Structure 1
Amino acid sequence: MRLLALPAFEDNYIWALVDDDGDALVIDPGDAAPVLAGTDMGLWPAAVLVTHHHPDHAGGVAALRERWPTLPVFAPDDARIPAATHRVGDGDRITLKNWRLSVLAVPGHTSSHVAFHGGGNEGPPHLFCGDTLFSLGCGRMFEGTPPQMLASLDRLAALPPDSLVCCGHEYTLANAAFALAVDPDNPALRHRTEEARAMRHAGRPTLPSTLAQELDTNPFLRVDAPAARAAVARRLGRPPADRVETFAELRRWKNDFRA
C-alpha cells in the first residue's frame, strides 16, 4: 500500500492510498487534474472520500465522475457536495477491496466535516482529517464553535498514536512559528520545526506526521499543558477559566498571528 500526496492549488494535498494493483482511494480532490495525471503513473481511482464541502477539497469530484461514471464518492450528508453517491456520518464504516475505514464526525471548521480513519490491512492507520487538524495547527472555525472544535480535536487525539496524519494543506512551517510563540521551550516542537524546514528545503511534503508527534508539539492538542495555559494567561491577564477558553483564545491568537 502506497500513500501519495498529490499537490494541488497553492498548498493543498490530494491524498491517494494506492494498493498493489494500482487501485486508489482518492481523498479530497479539489482539482481533478492531479488525479487524472496520476493515471500516467498507474493510479486508478477506485473511490473518492470527501471530508467537507469547500471547493478546494470537493471541486474536482464532478470531473472525476465524468471520467469514471461509476466511481463511488463517499461524503458527509451535505447538499453542498452534490456529486456524492454515498452519504456517510459518524460511526459509519467503509469497506472497499483492501481498505477499511471508520467515519468520525468532526464539526468545527464546517458543520458537516468528517474524518476517515483506517487504511489497508497492514501498517499504521491513516487519518484523513481534511481541515480539522493540521500538523502543528488546526482549522479555522467557519461554521462551528470553540466547544465543538475542541471536542472534535479531542476525538482525533484519542485515536492510536501511530496514526498517520494526512491533512489537507501544507501549513506546517507557518503553524510552527505560532506554536513556538506559545511553547518556545518544547524540545519536540523545536525538532519538528527543523525537520519540517529540511523537508521543505528538499522539496518534500512535511506530511504525513504522526498523531504521537502532534500530541507532543501541536498547541491545539495541548490545551491542558502548562505552557499553553500560561501563554493564554499572559494574553488574557488572568488564568483561563477552563480548557475551552484556553482553546478559544489560542485560535483567536492564531487568526491574527504574523511571524
Structure 2
Amino acid sequence: MNGISDGVAVVTGAAGGIGRAAAERFAEEGARVVAADVDGDGIEETIDEIESAGGEATAVETDVTDEGSVAALIEAAEESYGVPDMAFNNAGIEGDHAPLAEQSIEDWDRTIAVNQTGVWLCLKEELAAMADDGGGRIVNTASIAGLAAAGPGPYVASKHGVIGLTRVAAAQYGPEGVRVNAVCPGVINTEMVARSAEEMGEQMQAFIDAKPLGRMGQPEEVASAVVWLCSDDASFVTGHPLVIDGGYMA
C-alpha cells in the first residue's frame, strides 16, 4: 500500500491475534516493525514469523499501563529505526463477563487501565513524537463494543473511551499532520474471543449467527484495514471508527 514501505510501525498487543496479524502485514508491505507486548515470548514468536518471511522487526516487552514502559517503547523504536511513522495501539483485555452490578472494582480498574489508559499513554508518546517529526498515522483498537452494548460493562466503557480519545486526538493533531483513526472489530477468530466464548456459551454463537456474513472474522481481515488506514490511500480519513464486523451493526 502507498506510504507503508520503508516506514516505521509500532504495534502493541503484537504477541498474537489481530496485533500479530497487523505486525506481519506491516512488514509484508515493507515497513520496519516494532512489536510490543507484555508477553515477551509471544512477541519473539511474532518477530520470528516476520523475519522468516523476509521482513524487518524488533521486539520490545511493554506494559501499556505503565507510563515509563510506554515511553521506553517509543524511545526504543527511535533508537532502532527512527521516529515511528505509524502506530497501532491494539493491546487489550476482555475482562470479566459478569453482569454490571456484579463486577468487581478490581476488574473495572484493570480493564480500564489496559484498554483505555493504555491507549491514552501510547497516544501521548506517539502524538508528541510524530508532531515534532512532521506527522504520522495512528490506529487504535476499539470494538463494536465502543458503539453498542456488545459486551460486559467495563469492556464496553473502555472501548467507548477509545473512540472518544481517537476523535480528540484526530481533532487536535490533524493540523500537525497526524491522522488518528480506530477500528471496531466484531467477533474475530482470536484467543481472546475463544476465552470469551467459553464464558458466554450460546450467547457468543448468537453474536456470530446475527452477522449477515454468518461467520467470524479473521485477524488478517482487521489487519488489512489497519494498514490501509495507515497508508496514503486513506489520506483524507481521520477521526473515524471503522466497523469491521461482518455486518452485525447493520
TM-score category of the 2 structures, normalised to the smaller one: 0.3 to 0.5
Higher helix residue share: 2
Higher strand residue share: 1
Answer 1 or 2: higher relative contact order, Cα 8 Å, separation at least 6.
2
